[in-house]
Structure 1
Amino acid sequence: MAEAASVRQNLQNVPSIFEISAAETLDNLIYPALSKIFDYFGLRLDFKLWGSLRVREEFSPLITWILQYLYLRKRASSFGESFYGLQRTATATGELLTRQQQFTSATLLTILPYVERKLRSRSARHEGTYAWESHLISLFHAYNASKAVHTFLYLIKYASSHSPLFRALRLTLRYPSEPPMEDKWTYVFLKGLEVLAFFLQFIQWWYSNDQRRKMGGTLQNPEPMQHPELPHELKDTLPKNGECPVCLLKLQTPTACAVSGYVYCWKCIVTHLKEKGTCPVTSYPITIDDLVRIYES
């Protein structure tokens, strides 16, 4: 009877879908925030593997996995779930995670968003994608649709878990019946990480495209980087009005760079962006999201 009462009490501690959504949002901020930090300090793997294949990767996924596993090991919850006072428990018994469930949960929390983000990034840059990549994107679409259905069923209290992954792992989110037992230094360390959640949100806001577009109208375009004085013969070869600064021909499919304000041919700027990742004129770092197509009225 005591075990049944414990299970019944655990099933009553059901978080709302808004808290679960907020926890997922916070978990999804870890990777992009770490990426911005590592990019700023230049911490990235960059080496030639074989042939023309070159590995350009970052440490963000590894650090994200370590952080999530630490929280799952110490508090039976992810970083975002711990911040909102939630805990992962077995759906049937209400027991905490096993070691295998901790490892699997940390891996899924890291790998799935990372792979989906990479695939969508390649597709947005119009890079050549393989057939298996298109199939993977379709699978992610199917997974997101299934997750929406699970969320609705959870909202009307028809399902015990809000996600197909939780259902597959036979886990659910609950409020803990008692605070986690941990030593002083672990508590201080994890609390310090939770304080950083505010800075993660701030970094995400700062680099969001919507905020950049809102601020763009009040900022002056940056001046090109200073170059030595050129001879008159070379000055005559510089692009004129209506010409692309890359190919020096008449603009075809004019595309503006939101960071610098300069206009290029779409094909020229995309090709240059894949190789350099900068604005050709100002050398400021840009991405495919900074390009804006210009339509003639």
Structure 2
Amino acid sequence: MAEFGAHLTSATAEDDKPTYFEVLAQEGLMSAIRPAMNYAFRVLAEQNPARYGWMSRFSNEIYLAIDLVLQQHFLTTTTASFSENFYGMKRVPNTCSSAPQVASPSGLPRREHLKSLLLLVIVPYLKIKLDALFERWKQEWLDGVGISQSERNTLKEVSRVYLAIYPYIHMGWEGAHLSYQLAYLFNKSRFHSPLIQLAGVRLQHLTREDMLEQMKPLESPFTQNASISERVKVFSKWLLGAVAIGVSNGLSVAVFFLQFLEWWYANESHRSAIALTALPVPDPPKKFKVESLPADSSICPLCFRKRTNDTAISTSGYVFCYPCIYMYVKSHKCCPITRYPTETEQLVKLYPPIS
């Protein structure tokens, strides 16, 4: 707690504003947790697909549920998100008055609480889904892979409009965050993010009273002299708080390993390429003879038509049409010529030079 001592004795309203590096650190904490958790789900799914495969498919939804419980608890008890509280910050209602605002012990006002919860949990989840939808439409629908011709005709106009507009929406999203951060860095704004301003709050350091309040243990529901319905309500609230504190303590203990997990996750593709070169050289094709391949090198070995969207397999070097090889590798997980294990990530599109 020593890092909080500098501002506890003589803090003004302006001095109580967190530094630029503090707000970046708390944002980086949550951005590191999601990919680390998704990577853990994927490892479990690869180890036992029958039992844990659903965790990889619904990793974003699982994270959404955990994040919702966690943020709801911390907004109610500490008037801050998990990461903000971890770095000694809290949210206070943003008013036009210059007097310092103190959050009530029961939490933020209801309106600011609901807006904070929405912008902390739901908006990032929707953004991730929109990004995934953009990538899926870009890779599959525009290339005609993975959907029927009727679906392609129906969704053609929708996908075209979405793929044309969404890059500008994404650029505006990132540009707005960058603008707010620069304004916050040069003391031109009290908000480091547009989501903070939309929530109607601003960040302040925790005070000594806030820290003492947070150190109080949870009140047990079994000591309440009340009716059964009130006991159930108190027990539900106590259980939710206990789960949130358990998750919080677990994340606090593991926070020092998050950067390592993030590095591990970010360098996965590089490690896969290194591991690929360490594999033994495959045996010559047994089921396919070289003579059975098309004599014309511009013909796809799968559809025996002139290739479109030339795509090579990095595991064998053979070149196919992108729709043909994508569907084949997605279904069979191997090269159709050498039978060498192959994933869709190992497909490399070839772009001929413009004549």
TM-score (structure 1 length as normaliser): 0.70
2:131 maps to amino acid:
R
Output the CA distance in 1 between the equivalents of 2:216 and 2:304. 65
1:13 counterpart (16, 23, 33): 16
Name the residue aligned to 1:177.
Answer: 207
1:70 maps to amino acid:
H
- Change in CA separation of 1:19 and 1:285 when aligned onto 2, cut-off 3 Å: farther
Verify: 1:29 aligned to 2:32, yes or no.
Answer: yes
**Does the CA contact (< 8 Å) of 1:150 and 1:163 recur in 2?**
yes
1:67 maps to amino acid:
L
Q: The residue matched to 2:202 in structure 1 has which SS? A: strand
1:84 counterpart (87, 92, 98): 87
Name the residue aligned to 1:111.
Answer: 122
Name the residue aligned to 2:76.
Answer: 73
Output the CA distance in 2 between the equivalents of 1:249 and 1:140. 39
Output the CA distance in 2 between the equivalents of 1:176 and 1:42. 42
- Change in CA separation of 1:43 and 1:100 when aligned onto 2, cut-off 3 Å: farther
Which string of whole-angstrom CA distances, capped at 9 and with x for unpartnered residues, describes residues 62-120 of structure 1? 22322332333333322332332222222332425234433432332233333333333
Task: Give the structure with the higher percent helix.
Answer: 2
2:263 maps to amino acid:
W
- Change in CA separation of 1:44 and 1:240 when aligned onto 2, cut-off 3 Å: farther
**How big is the shift at 1:134?**
5.2
Output the CA distance in 2 between the equivalents of 1:57 and 1:274. 26
1:183 maps to amino acid:
P
**Does the CA contact (< 8 Å) of 2:293 and 2:301 recur in 1?**
yes
Output the CA distance in 2 between the equivalents of 1:168 and 1:151. 15
Output the CA distance in 2 between the equivalents of 1:199 and 1:244. 47
RMSD: 4.3
Q: Structure 2: which 5+ runs fail to align?
A: 1-8, 46-51, 96-100, 142-158, 219-241
Output the CA distance in 2 between the equivalents of 1:277 and 1:61. 33
1:202 maps to amino acid:
F
Verify: 1:201 aligned to 2:270, yes or no.
Answer: no
Output the CA distance in 1 between the equivalents of 2:281 and 2:109. 57
Name the residue aligned to 1:212.
Answer: 269
2:270 maps to amino acid:
R
Q: The residue matched to 2:277 in structure 1 has which SS? A: coil
Name the residue aligned to 2:53.
Answer: 42
**Does the CA contact (< 8 Å) of 2:311 and 2:347 recur in 1?**
yes
Q: Give the number of the structure whose alpha-carbon radius of gyration is greater.
A: 2
Q: Map residues 124-143 of structure 1 onto 2, 5 A cutoff.
A: 124-125=135-136, 126=138, 127-128=140-141, 129=159, 131=161, 135=165, 137-143=167-173
Q: The residue matched to 1:173 in structure 2 has which SS? A: strand
2:70 maps to amino acid:
L
Q: The residue matched to 1:207 in structure 2 has which SS? A: helix
Name the residue aligned to 2:182.
Answer: 152
Output the CA distance in 2 between the equivalents of 1:264 and 1:44. 35
- Change in CA separation of 1:214 and 1:285 when aligned onto 2, cut-off 3 Å: closer
1:79 maps to amino acid:
F
Q: Structure 1: which 5+ runs fail to align?
A: 1-5, 47-54
Name the residue aligned to 1:102.
Answer: 113
Which string of whole-angstrom CA distances, capped at 9 and with x for unpartnered residues, describes residues 24-67 of structure 1? 12212333333233332312497xxxxxxxx9974232223223
TM-score (structure 2 length as normaliser): 0.60
- Change in CA separation of 1:10 and 1:131 when aligned onto 2, cut-off 3 Å: same
